[in-house]
Amino acid sequence: MPSFTTTLQKFGEKGDKTRWTYIEIPVAISDELKPGQKKSFRVKGTLDNYPIKLVALLPMGRSINPDGGFMMPINATMRRGIGKEEEGTQIKVTLEVDNDPLPQSADLLDCLEDDPTALANFRKLSPSHQNYFSNWIEDAKTIDTKTKRLTQAVTGLSLGMNFGEMIRHFKPGFI
């Protein structure tokens, strides 16, 4: 499990990444984790002593770093966990590849158990497409919204719809 010390950085005015806090992952470290990898992948480990898991490393792109490499966005929860917010602050990082599956919505799985057709159609979807449904349901901020989304998901899946088709089907005014 590779360890290294790095510095918190912030993007300036960089389009959709404006004001992001991040760390650069040296090419030698990313190659040790996943040799030759050019696409995003998930890692787990520690930032200082704060545990992290299911965190994506994103490709830096040669316009940002001529050597390529990866970056890890450091969200507010992670910054609070390590007790460091300021750009230029040093942190110790330990990483390993995280092959654990993303957790699925327990509520969705419970509802699908009541509809074998919907469950069978859900299981036919790729894991990333299953995650669209699961994340959409878990992102609901109220119980009413969550209930509505669960109903729409189970109905859409029982009709053989993928996530996009289901969203369009239940969109108000859609014909």
What integer pLDDT is reported at residue 66 of this predicted model? Answer: 62
Mean predicted lDDT score pLDDT of the chain? 90
Residue 146, domain member (yes or no): yes
Residues 31 and 88 in one domain: yes
Residues 53 and 135 in one domain: no
Instruction: Specify whether the CB–CB gap between 70 and 60 falls below 8 A.
Output: yes
Share of the chain above pLDDT 70, in %: 90
What integer pLDDT is reported at residue 37 of this predicted model? Answer: 87
The mean pLDDT of 118-147, rounded to a whole number, is 94
Domain that holds residue 131: 106-170
* Cα 113 to Cα 98: distance, rounded to the nearest angstrom: 29
* Cα 34 to Cα 28: distance, rounded to the nearest angstrom: 10
pLDDT digits (tens, 9 = 90+) for 79-121: 999 999 888 999 999 999 998 888 899 999 999 999 999 999 9
Residues 39 and 90 in one domain: yes
Q: How confident is the model at residue 68 (pLDDT cuts 50, 70, 90)?
A: low
Residues 11 and 51 in one domain: yes
Residue 170 neighbours by CB distance under 10 Å: 16
Q: Is 122 exposed, middle or buried (0-12, 13-18, 19+ CB in 10 A)?
A: buried
Residue 55, domain member (yes or no): yes
pTM > 0.75: no
